[in-house]
Chains A and B, each alone.
Chain A
Amino acid sequence: MSDWTRGRRSDPHSSKPENRKRGVDGSLRANREAGGSGRENGGHTDGSYRYSEKRHASFTTPESTGPVSRCSRPADWGSQVDDDEMRRDVHRDMQRYRRRILGAEVTQRERKTSSGSSESCDSREGENMETDEAVLLRRQKQINYGKNTLAYDRYTKEVPKHMRQPGVHPKTPNKFRKYSRRSWDQQIKLWKVKLHAWDPPTEDGQDKVLDIEELDLGDVMDIELDFPTLPDSQNAPASLPARSLSLEGEDCSGTPVKVQKTETTVEPDMA
């Protein structure tokens, strides 16, 4: 990390988004403004660091078409209130999730002794969860883009939660789990692709399948496909956490194949 800070100091104008690095804890580093005088922290060759007060006002994100201001304070009231609301929702979700995980951990520990399960890290999920507000907000925005679609609307109306099968039905990625940025973005991408199966009917339904084939399967095989059920902000979670966690292993194989199934022909298969 000290190399990074030294590098930043000698290049005060490097303010592009691609230069943003992550600290060891996964949180984003602040961009340094030009010139050394504005900085409050002097040397930190030991790798520790504090957020500088001078941060970049705006940058282009994957979701936006142009520069957007930092989440700290957009200029217009409409966005400020939307951001506030999202922040509060995320915090509320975090409370709920923590409570859920604590409940599941107890059950998982009891099962572990009898089944001798693998290195599934879910029993320590409570300590391993993502809590960085900036990350959670970004992830929530990405989830919202997917949920604000006709496809999602039709999907949720058609397939109630208790009828959903892992691998077959799209599951919202769990924003509280620790994932690399790349892994998360890929999960979102795949989830949205899966949701397309519920797009309002067009003349040629086959188009949807072709989109999937174009994916780089190398990337797909890298990522974890174990999405535990996410607490829905509207409904109280109905599924048993322990049960859903134990089904993870079955997800990893044929995602592309399963996605080809369209809405009307899903055979319920008892896992």
Chain B
Amino acid sequence: MLPSIMENTTDDYRIQSFDLDTQMLLKTALKDPSSVNLEKVSDIIMDQSLKDQVFSKEAGRICYTIVQAEAKQNNGNVFRRNLLNRLQQEFKNREETRGRSLQEWVCYVTFICNIFDYLKVNNMPMVALVHPVYDCLIRLAQPDALMNEEEVDCLVLQLHRIGEQLEKVNSPRMDELFFLLRDGFLLQEGLTSMARLLLLEILEFRAGGWLLSSTAHKYYYSEIAD
């Protein structure tokens, strides 16, 4: 491949954090999936997503491309199957992960939500992931999690990105989540002002039909010079 093309792939898929050999492997997986060990590739992507938040935020894209490429090349789904089963394993152990490392837990949630966003089946979200995603977000809305800014931050980020889709596929659980968020905002003692700001914003965002009015946007997002 031409150097310029290789550069674009690196940027597009945010794989700069991988060593060069792994980058090469991933690029080959994108172009010629049957020539690489796809189980290994999915493990690599999964493992990196748990460590690297920048990567996990957009890892869904590279996964989507590999899934499509494999399906087109030989009707296979080795990559997707392995990725989902890894995701499921990590999901089962999420409480333990959270106890061990908030960073890893937050990365996991970011990753699974990104996969939910990108990996559609016949243009529909994967039904198998709906409840697990909700379980993760609802966990982030628990009192102990709201005390940690990084967890609140993760929660609102995911809701911005996939909240509308999630609500469409299961509205009662979104209601359940937002009951918790309202309670948290109103009643939780010890929340940082940043956490409260984030919660207020997301409450307004959903109330506005997953859109922020321009005035609200101004309130939350313009820089106020001191």
Contact of B122 among A78, A79, A92, A148 (CB under 8 A): A92
Given contacts A84-B121, A88-B122, A89-B122, 17 further A-B contacts (CB under 8 A): A76-B85, A76-B88, A77-B85, A77-B87, A77-B126, A77-B128, A78-B84, A80-B127, A81-B80, A81-B81, A81-B128, A85-B122, A88-B121, A88-B124, A92-B122, A147-B75, A148-B74
Interface residues in chain A, defined as those with a beta carbon under 8 Å from any beta carbon in chain B: 76-82, 84-85, 88-89, 92, 147-148, 153
The reply to whether B82 and A84 form a contact with Cβ atoms under 8 Å apart is: no
Known contacts A77-B88, A77-B129, A147-B75; A82/B81 CB under 8 A: yes
A109 to B78, CA, bound (A): 47
| A interface secondary structure, majority | helix
Rounded to whole Å, the gap between the CB of B94 and the closest CB of chain A is 14
The reply to whether A80 and B75 form a contact with Cβ atoms under 8 Å apart is: no
Q: How many A-B residue pairs have CB under 8 A?
A: 45
> A82 to chain B: which residues have CB within 8 Å?
77, 81
Interface size class of B (residues with CB under 8 A): 10 to 19
B113-143 contact mask (Cβ, 8 Å, vs A): 1 or 0: 0000000011010111100100000000000
> A80 to chain B: which residues have CB within 8 Å?
127-128
> A81 to chain B: which residues have CB within 8 Å?
80-81, 84, 121, 126-128
Interface residues in chain B, defined as those with a beta carbon under 8 Å from any beta carbon in chain A: 74-75, 77, 80-82, 84-85, 87-88, 121-122, 124, 126-129, 132
The reply to whether A84 and B88 form a contact with Cβ atoms under 8 Å apart is: no
Contact of B121 among A78, A85, A148, A153 (CB under 8 A): A85
Q: Write the chain B residue with the least CB distance to A78.
A: B81
Q: Shortest 7 CB-CB distances between A and B: which pairs?
A: A78-B81, A80-B128, A77-B84, A78-B84, A88-B122, A77-B88, A77-B128
- Residue of B75, B80, B124, B128 with highest tally of chain A CB at under 10 A: B128
